[in-house]
Structure formats: structure tokens, C-alpha cells
Amino acid sequence: MFLPIGDAGRAELVERRIAEAIMGGHLRAGDRLPSEADLAHTMGVAPVTVREALLGLRSRGLVVTRRGRNGGSFVSAEADPLVFAREALVASSRFAIRDLGVHYAALTMAGTRLAARRAALSEVAAIRIRLAKLDTAVGQKPGASELSAWRQTMDDLQLELVALSQSARLTRDQMRLQAEFSPLLRLIDVDAGTRSRHRELFGSVLDAVEAGDEDAAGAATERLVGDAIDALDALRLQADDF
């Protein structure tokens, strides 16, 4: 246990971080990655570690490298967050999905309960305004980029609400868990009924936070996360039918 950790394993960490950004849709097909030097600098590792990570990403088909004047590393044209999410869902056991849901619900409930005690009305109102804008932003037949923007806004509003707990630790954990959970949510976002239900449920979380009602805020959050998990679990069950 007292052996030096060194740079071994760091390349895998860098690779995982970038792979997660691609699979989660934060880096999209065709996006240019920062230069090796910039990546090394911002991620606090040696350039050789970044090079090794990029090698791994290339061999997995997530990244392509082009030479020449406009060269560099780019997210592969085939990278589709929905395909990655479906693969991740099928590769997970139902137990793991339910357990992720339990974890996410527990954390988010703690955050929104505390927000109900500590949020200012103006702060809740600001979230509500952005939620209202989201209503009109999604049409009847949204394309991939509209759906992606919808998910990003929902994630952002949820994070903002948890941040109103005034707890830095809860907010950091929410960000980490959201990065894991959010790619899967894209699979159920395609259903218009699910989207409108989730918008409504999130609205009732806001109502409870605004009223300063901790118990109602916790209960509404549990309904929102529970609904998402049920939908994901149903998708997972269907996947076994093929």
C-alpha cells in the first residue's frame, strides 16, 4: 500500500474523463479536442500521459487524429451519446440501475430538502423562469440537438436547485453523480410524455422549495427520480427481449 502511485493509471483516468465527456454528449461528433499540451496543462498531468490516453481513445474509436495544418484530435463522427447510453444500459444489471437510482434520489432529496430551508424566493423564481422557457423550447418533434439541450437545461436546473442547499459537498457530489446518471436519462427523454411529466414533477419540487416545505420537497424529488428510474428499468427489461 505504500508503493508510489506515479503516472501509471493516470492515463486511464484521463482516458475515462474524456470518454465520459464524449459518451455523455458534452463533446460531440466532430468537436476538436484541445491540444495535447493544453489538455496536459489543464488536467495537471504530463503530456506523455495525455498522448497515452488519446491512443486509448483512438483504439476505442472515440477519437480520430488528423494530420496537417488543420489537424488535431477530433471526436469521431460516429460518436452518438444515445448509442453509448444504450450500450451502458444493456451492460448494467437491473440491480445496478435501481441502486444508482437509490443513490441519486437520496442525494438529490437531501439537497432539495435543505434548499427548502435555505433558498431565497428570488433564487427559486430564477429557476422557474428558466423552466418556463424550456416549455416553449421543445416542440412536438425535437431533433437530437434540441433533446440534448433539453437534458442539459434540466440537469443544470437540478444542479442549481441543489446548490441552493448552500452545501458545497452536496453540490459537488450532485455534479459527480449527475455526470453518471444524465447520459442514461437521454434514453427516456426521447418520449414526449416522459419529458412533460418530468417538467411537471420538477415544477412541484420548486413549489415545495418555494413554500419552504422540506417534506414536500423531498417527496416530490423522490417522485421525479423514481419516475425516471422506473422508465429506465422498463427499457432495461425490454432490452433482454431481443
Interacting residues toward another protein by CB under 8 A: 21, 25-28, 31, 34, 38, 41-42, 44, 117-120, 122-123, 126, 148, 152-153, 155-156, 159, 163, 165-168, 171-172, 175, 178, 212
Give 56 or 212: the residue with its C-beta nearer to another protein. 212
Q: List the grid coordinates of 225.
A: 427520480
CB of 158 to another protein, least distance (A): 10
Give 173 or 227: the residue with its C-beta nearer to another protein. 173
Count of CA atoms in the C-beta half-sphere (13 A) of 223: 16
CB of 90 to another protein, least distance (A): 25
CB of 239 to another protein, least distance (A): 27
Count of CA atoms in the C-beta half-sphere (13 A) of 202: 28
CB of 124 to another protein, least distance (A): 11
Q: Residue 32's Cα: distance from chain center in Å?
A: 21
φ, ψ of residue 213 to 5 degrees: the values are -100, 95
Entry field: residues in the chain: 242
Give 163 or 208: the residue with its C-beta nearer to another protein. 163
Give 154 or 220: the residue with its C-beta nearer to another protein. 154
> For residue 111, which of 119, 122, 120 has the smallest C-alpha distance?
119
**What separation in angstroms does the CA of 81 have from each of 29, 45, 87, 153, 186?**
9, 27, 10, 16, 8
Q: List the grid coordinates of 88.
A: 451502458
CB of 175 to another protein, least distance (A): 6
Task: Say how far apart CA 92 and CA 184 lie, in whole Å.
Answer: 11
Give 152 or 194: the residue with its C-beta nearer to another protein. 152
CB 96 within 8 A of CB 156: no
Name the β-bridge partners of 120: none
Give 144 or 235: the residue with its C-beta nearer to another protein. 144
CB of 94 to another protein, least distance (A): 28
Give 143 or 193: the residue with its C-beta nearer to another protein. 143
Q: Strands (DSSP E) along the chain, which ranges? A: 63-66, 72-75
Task: Say how far apart CA 236 and CA 105 lie, in whole Å.
Answer: 19
CB of 232 to another protein, least distance (A): 20
